[in-house]
Structures are given as C-alpha cells and as structure tokens.
Amino acid sequence: MLTSYIAATPAFADGTDTPRAFLERCLERVAAREKDILAFVETAFDRARQEADAATARWKAGSQRSTIDGMPIGVKDVIETIDMATGMGSPLFTGWRSGRDSASVMALRSAGALILGKTVTTEFAASFPGPTRNPHDLARTPGGSSSGSAAGVAAGFFSAGLGTQVVGSIVRPASFCGVYGMKPSLGGINRLGSHDFMSQSCQGVLAASLADAWQVLTEIASRAGGDPGYPGLVGPALLPSARRPRRLVFLETTGWPLLSEAVKAQMSEALDKLRSAGIEILGRSDNPEVEAVEKAITTSLEVTRLINAWESRWPLNIYRERDASKLSKDMRERSAEAENLTQAQYRRALEKRASIRAAYAKLAQVADGCVTLSAVGAAPIGLDSTGNPAFAVPGSLLGVPALNLPVLNEAGLPLGLQLMGYEQQDADLFALARTVETVVGVA
C-alpha cells in the first residue's frame, strides 16, 4: 500500500488530483487501520488539512514551494515539533514540549510538506519497543527504532517518515515493513533539534519510493544543510538518473550464517540477476580487499555498542537520577554498563572504528558499491524485540549511505536488499539503486 506523493504530483498541475485529495486518501487509510497498527503518538490532522488546501492552490497556480509541497509526512517522536509533544518513547518525556521544530522539520515545513503526526519510536531510539505493529502481519514487529515511520509508510498513512539510525533503526524497519529506507552519509542531514546526538547517529527517511526518499532528503539538505561541520547531502534537484554499476561487492556480514536456506537462495538469485545484467559481483573469495572488509566488520556491533554506551552515559545518568523507575530494564542496564566504561576504552573503540572505516574506504577502488541484505529475515513474530541488526550495523559504524530496497520476501513477508555506498556519495547510491531495483524487480 505504498503511496508515492511524487508520482501523484503531475496530476496536481493539471487538476485531476489535488494535495488535499491525496491527504484525504491517506487519512481514510489511517481511519481504517491506525487502531490496529498504532503508528502515531500524536497527530495534527486539522493543521495538515488547512496546509493541504494551501498547497492545492499553489500547485494549481504553478507556484508550489518545492517538489514535496503538500506531501504528508510522519516524524519520529525523538525529533522536535513546535505543535506536538516530543515523547522520545519514554515516560520521562510524555507530553514534553520543546517549543520548536527541529532543523529538518523546519525545512520540511518551509518546503510545504505537511507534518501529519509524531510516530512511535522505541525508548530514546534504542531497543525497548513501542506498541506499533507490522502492517503486513499485526502479530509481528515493524522493527525499530523508527517503528511508526516505517509502519506508517507501509500502511499508506503518509508518503515519507523521518527516522534516525545509530545501529539499524532505519534500514531494519524499512526491510520488515517493505518500504524504502535511506540512512545518509554521516552528517548528511542536519539533526539539530533531535534526541540523536551519538557520533554514528544519522537522520534519514523511510519512504514510498526512491523518488519520495530523494526529494525529502534533498529538500531538507538544501534548506537546513547537514550536521554542523559536515558538507551535507548534495545532488541533483530531482532523483538522480539511473546508473549501471560496473562492479558491486557482495557483503555477507556476520548475518549470513543466520539466514534461512530460502533467503540465501533468494539472495543468490538476486545476485544472478545482477550478473545477467552485466554487473560483476565480487565476493570475499574473489578479492583480498573484500575479504579484509568482511573481517573488519565482524566487530561492528561490539564496537558500536561500546561507542554508543559511552556516548549515552549522559543523559542516561541524569535520567536515572531523575526517576530510574521510568527507564526500561534495558536502559538501566545500558546506563550501568556505560558507567563502568572508561575514557580509555572509548578512545580505543574510536581507533578501532577508524581502522574499519579505512578498510572499507579501499573498496571505492574496487567496486561502485556494496550489496547485501537488510535483515536476517522477515519481521519476527512478537512485539518485544525489534529484530537482529546484524546486516544494518556495518553501514552505521562505517558512516556511509545505506539504502533499503523492498525487493525480496520471506514466505510472502517483506525483506529488503541493502545497498551501501561511499561517504558523501549519497546521490550516486540512488543512481545505482534505480538500476538494481529494475534488475532485481519489485517484490
């Protein structure tokens, strides 16, 4: 039920469709399914309707503010909004109002986008899950931490949702919910005004198509830039043209042994299709640089966890002091673990991360990008875990752009193919993704 806004916009100019009518179709789906899916924490439908009318008038007059003028968007509830509370998935922040829009939300509004509501996040965008269910099977997790943004796109509630990723929080729920998901290069999208302060954290997007994902990212970046000190995402004003890669690296990661035989077979089939299209696939046995990367990234989760724990020592210590009973057991354990770490351990972890990044950077001489899975399988049953991050965590640690394409499945449930690119080459990753999507085919 993916509902691309970008695909609808040509009809806005000739009057056969309108942003207001598009919004109403979204709201009908919300009315029908939100009671089961629980993607939203809070909504702002009245404001959205008013703004959709204004966008309708602008498109008719040919004076739309941007390519996403009138697009309905969900905002992960760690990202601040002036008109809605920012609850962070924590009882410590229920109803907390920052009194401002984040840099990204401010940019989206100035591009004319409609902020439909705040979407469910795990506690502080970490692992303790919220109530959201997977639209493809209500008994299953939508993944996390950007749970509501992924589920909302999958259910056709909105065309794009803002998310954040520090381990697997965009790529994994995108895979489980069968939507497009893009974690940009480190610093690609300004994350000021978001509870998203770790050194691997990125703000990104879950979306109904590659075009919706690209337009949201580029409309934010051109107005709000990237993180302070980073050049920020750049590229063409419209979705980059398809580019056929000469070579792609296939990465097994630590996730490969965890796959079912059926998923392994599907991945092999996808690789065969790429080969048939004239794209050379390099695996660990084909090239020493690939083998070096495979070895280097085996520690991705361990290094990421140590870095994240040290970097979240504060504010967890202050939250714990305020009211420890309002932190999940998970979070209290993470805080205790953080208090046992030393600055020296953290420095060693940073050095380790730098060496893994250096190994990966060498691949740029070898291939146009990497292809792997986005998750170890379809969304698991139950809402108590957001799933294994084995395939998503390397992209987070490496700081490179990572994109989920919803082109595979396991027993009829969505499963994503993941493309990983090189730092600052986000636009090129979209160009490659267009080719890969066409070759492998939509699920």
Q: Residue 160 CB, nearest distance to a copy of itself (Å)?
A: 20
Stretch binding a copy of itself (CB under 8 A), from 26-34, 93-101, 124-132, 241-249: 93-101
Stretch binding a copy of itself (CB under 8 A), from 58-66, 135-143, 237-245, 309-317: 309-317
Total Cβ atoms within 10 A of residue 37:
24
Are 414 and 175 a contacting pair, CB within 8 Å?
yes
395: contact with a copy of itself by CB under 8 A: no
Q: Which of 102, 104, 127, 145 is catalytic?
A: 145
Are 270 and 128 a contacting pair, CB within 8 Å?
no
Stretch binding a copy of itself (CB under 8 A), from 12-20, 129-137, 185-193, 207-215: 185-193
Q: Which position among 42, 311, 330, 410 is part of the footprint of a copy of itself (CB under 8 A)?
A: 311
Stretch binding a copy of itself (CB under 8 A), from 44-52, 223-231, 297-305, 431-439: 223-231
65: contact with a copy of itself by CB under 8 A: no
193: contact with a copy of itself by CB under 8 A: yes
Alpha-carbon gap, residue 161 to 151, rounded angstroms: 9
Q: Which position among 21, 54, 85, 234 is part of the footprint of a copy of itself (CB under 8 A)?
A: 234
Q: Which position among 190, 203, 335, 396 is part of the footprint of a copy of itself (CB under 8 A)?
A: 190
> Any idea which residue has 């969505």 for tokens?
414
103: contact with a copy of itself by CB under 8 A: yes
412: contact with a copy of itself by CB under 8 A: no
Nearer of residues 246 and 347 to a copy of itself, judged by Cβ:
347
Give SS3 for 240.
coil
Total residues contacting a copy of itself by CB under 8 A comes to 36
Element (H, E) at 221: helix 210-224
Q: Residue 334 CB, nearest distance to a copy of itself (Å)?
A: 15
Give SS3 for 80.
coil
Query: How many C-alpha atoms does 230 have within 13 Å on its Cβ side?
Result: 22
347: contact with a copy of itself by CB under 8 A: yes
Q: Residue 54 CB, nearest distance to a copy of itself (Å)?
A: 17
Query: How many C-alpha atoms does 221 have within 13 Å on its Cβ side?
Result: 28
DSSP, res 242: P
318: contact with a copy of itself by CB under 8 A: yes
- DSSP assignment of 344-403 equals HHHHHHHHHHHHHHHHHHGGGGT-SEEEEESSSSSPPBBSS-----TTTHHHHHHT--EE
Catalytic residue status for 169: yes
Report the DSSP pairing between strands 402-410 and 180-183: antiparallel
Q: Which of 102, 146, 159, 169 is catalytic?
A: 169
Closest CA to 286 of 366, 364, 371: 366
228: contact with a copy of itself by CB under 8 A: yes
Give SS3 for 249.
strand
In what order do the strands lie in the sheet containing 413-420? Answer: 40-43, 114-119, 72-76, 160-165, 202-207, 180-183, 402-410, 413-420, 369-373, 247-250, 280-282
Nearer of residues 229 and 412 to a copy of itself, judged by Cβ:
229
221: contact with a copy of itself by CB under 8 A: yes
Stretch binding a copy of itself (CB under 8 A), from 14-22, 96-104, 376-384, 427-435: 96-104
Catalytic residue status for 110: no
Q: Which position among 231, 236, 288, 382 is part of the footprint of a copy of itself (CB under 8 A)?
A: 231
Closest CA to 205 of 76, 77, 78: 76
Buried b (16+ CB within 10 A) or exposed e, 292-331: bbbebbebbbebbebbbbbbbbeebeebbeeeeeebbeeb
Q: Residue 237 CB, nearest distance to a copy of itself (Å)?
A: 12
Query: Judging by beta carbons within 10 Å of its beta carbon (0-12, 13-18, 19+), is residue 110 exposed, middle or buried?
Result: middle
Q: Which of 76, 118, 183, 352 is catalytic?
A: 76
197: contact with a copy of itself by CB under 8 A: yes
Please identify every residue annotated as catalytic: 76, 145, 169
Binding site for a copy of itself (CB under 8 A): 82, 99-103, 106-107, 190, 192-193, 197-199, 221-222, 224-225, 228-229, 231-232, 234, 310-311, 313-315, 317-319, 322, 343, 346-347, 350
